[in-house]
Structure 1
Amino acid sequence: MNTATESYPIGTPGTPWGDEERAEWLSRQSSKRSYESEVLSVIERLRSRFDVEQYGRLDYGTERYPLMAIRSRDWRDDLPVVLITGGVHGYETSGVHGALQFVDQHAEDYAGRINLLVAPCVSPWAYERIHRWNANAVDPNRSFHQNSPAEESAALMRLVETIGDRVVLHMDLHETTDTDETEFRPALAARDGKPFEPGDIPDGFYLVDDSESPQPGFQQAVIEAVEQVAHIAPADANGEIFGSPVVARGVIQYPLKELGLCASITNAPYKTTTEVYPDSSRATSEQCNVAQAVAVCAAIDYALEVEVECHYK
């Protein structure tokens, strides 16, 4: 795509979108896959082994989307909580299916040691349209704050508000794709009336730590586990990944709460955002799902060894 904002087909260059532009954008969106058949059906099959609950519902026009969470069946108030979220950005497929794969293949390994809470598809409307935003052209992953403009974000915050102080680990599963550069960042620039500044898409897996409370040992433990199944994104010529300085191999940092990111919604001492590159010639969709599941396992193992055994004996 041309690097100028003018190349985006909606809006006037330099002018933020109003209701008319948002309506035009919405009219261009169409369903490309099924939340019911690809996600809800998988959750339903897990119901025999885990507790499943509806924690909210999205109403967009005539469409209704139940928001579903999966809990440990042996939930105990004396155990710490691990929170796993996926699909905050609906187009980031392995975030959703990596979370579900972890539950199906690995979650029972931690029974009796942690309480597990998984919201595998936070943004089902966007999942169906393979999009970053919700139907109101709002990015849920910049909306985790008071008076959130995104019901996806508000519903998840309501789900965890009573357990936030007991969450020891939060893994938020994401992807960085080629469409970040060809569609989503140009759309963002157009929506906000700003120039589009192109960047490079990192080839490989990386993590986003919290710059306000970094946990370098934890982040590296996850990187070391994932590199057994997927390649790690290298720094670019400027020592950066996606415009942020690389603070350790495969790790960058954002101020999570300041940006309203999902990984900021609890007081967990260990939290990270995973980023997988599904468009790499060196990775398949299945490898991306596996990388997400391995990252979750490595994170839980680290938290159990370093944190939980010290505080929850």
Structure 2
Amino acid sequence: MDNVDTMIGQPGQPWGDAEKSAWRASRRQQRSYAEAVVPRIEALRAQFVVDQYGMLDYGGDGRFPLYVLKSKDWRKELPYALVTGGVHGYETSGVEGALQFAQRHASDFDGRLNLVIAPCVSPWAYERIQRWNALALDPNRNFIDNSPAPESAALMRLVAGLEGECAVHIDLHETTDTDETEFRPALAARDGKPFEPGTIPDGFYVVGDTPNPQLAFQSAVIEAVRPVTHIAPADPDGTIIGSEVVAEGVILYDFKALGLCAGVTDARLTTTTEVYPDSPRATPEQCNDAQVAAVIAALEFALK
């Protein structure tokens, strides 16, 4: 496989600091967080409280302020809803969907739920269209105590300091062709393991929490997205990305055990969305709209 990541280090040997540094040096900035994301967050100050909840300092690669949007009229008697995007920086519709929801639909929930929206959790990776952070760590496996991923640690501190109960958390993601051609081979190379090819589902699906699946909630999100884009079918063995399909378009992971962002709260309703932007049946606009539809459905379900 012609993949620069698989050429770093020695086959069968996990990467050390030198290999991780070589990987980082090979990552090239392809877009600007400061130009493409931050001004859109700043433009929402009339509607939200905009707080900086952290700062990533990646030396020569730059410093990246981390921003959260919070309901301006925060009501102590109401629970809050958490929306996160860009935990994996390359998953563009997660960032776009979170911002689009904030811009166009958040006001529909005024006085009904407090909102907390972190549109771009991993800006270094956003700029380089990467899954990992600058330390060759996957933030979405590092929502753990004493996290070594500063993106994950900062969001965990933010959540720990929020007032009130979290009713629902929806974490916006994508599954892309590059998962199979670049990121999974890189993971195998980094960890000194053989790469085992998988499949990429064609369509939208969600991931629920194994200990707390909430299938009616997951299915409500699927139904809301169905008019926007197609739902991923199961593989012939009844799985999506190797996990059993427990309802149409729904698989389960153990959020907290795997250190996933969707396990960062103790909310009763939690889900991770997955759109497929490389499908010939979906446009970038549809992917963004699917994320927005999923957020709205998740919040409305929580309000029932």
Give the shorter-chain TM-score range. Answer: over 0.9
The question of 1:254 aligning with 2:250 is answered no
Deviation at 1:50, TM superposition (A): 1.1
State the partner residue of 1:10: 8
Aligned 1:139-158 pairs, distance under 5 A: 139-158=138-157
Q: Per-residue displacement from partner, 1:193-234 (whole Å, max 9, x unpaired)?
A: 001000010000000000011100000001001001110000
Aligned 1:35-50 pairs, distance under 5 A: 35-50=33-48
Classify the secondary structure of the residue corresponding to 1:8.
helix
Deviation at 1:101, TM superposition (A): 0.3
- Of the candidates 31, 37, 49, which is equivalent to residue 29 of structure 2? 31
Classify the secondary structure of the residue corresponding to 2:97.
helix
Cα root mean square deviation, aligned: 1.3
State the partner residue of 1:163: 162
5+ unaligned residues in a row in structure 1: which ranges? 306-313
Deviation at 1:6, TM superposition (A): 11
Aligned 1:216-227 pairs, distance under 5 A: 216-227=215-226
State the partner residue of 1:215: 214
State the partner residue of 2:283: 284
CA contact (8 A) 1:32 1:130 kept: yes
5+ unaligned residues in a row in structure 2: which ranges? none
Deviation at 1:301, TM superposition (A): 0.6
CA distance in 2, matches of 1:72, 1:228: 29
Q: Per-residue displacement from partner, 1:51-101 (whole Å, max 9, x unpaired)?
A: 101000000013100000001111111110000000000000000010000
Distance change (3 Å), C-alpha of 1:159 and 1:6? closer
Q: Which residue identity does 2:246 align to in structure 1?
A: V
Deviation at 1:162, TM superposition (A): 2.8
State the TM-score, normalizing by the size of structure 2. Answer: 0.98
CA distance in 2, matches of 1:165, 1:182: 42
CA contact (8 A) 1:229 1:291 kept: yes
CA distance in 1, matches of 2:266, 2:135: 29
Percent of matched pairs sharing the same residue: 64
Classify the secondary structure of the residue corresponding to 2:37.
helix
Distance change (3 Å), C-alpha of 1:207 and 1:164? farther
CA contact (8 A) 1:230 1:291 kept: yes
CA distance in 2, matches of 1:75, 1:163: 11
Deviation at 1:165, TM superposition (A): 6.3
State the partner residue of 1:53: 51
CA distance in 2, matches of 1:183, 1:138: 15
State the TM-score, normalizing by the size of structure 1. Answer: 0.95
Q: Per-residue displacement from partner, 1:102-121 (whole Å, max 9, x unpaired)?
A: 01111000000100000000
State the partner residue of 2:118: 119
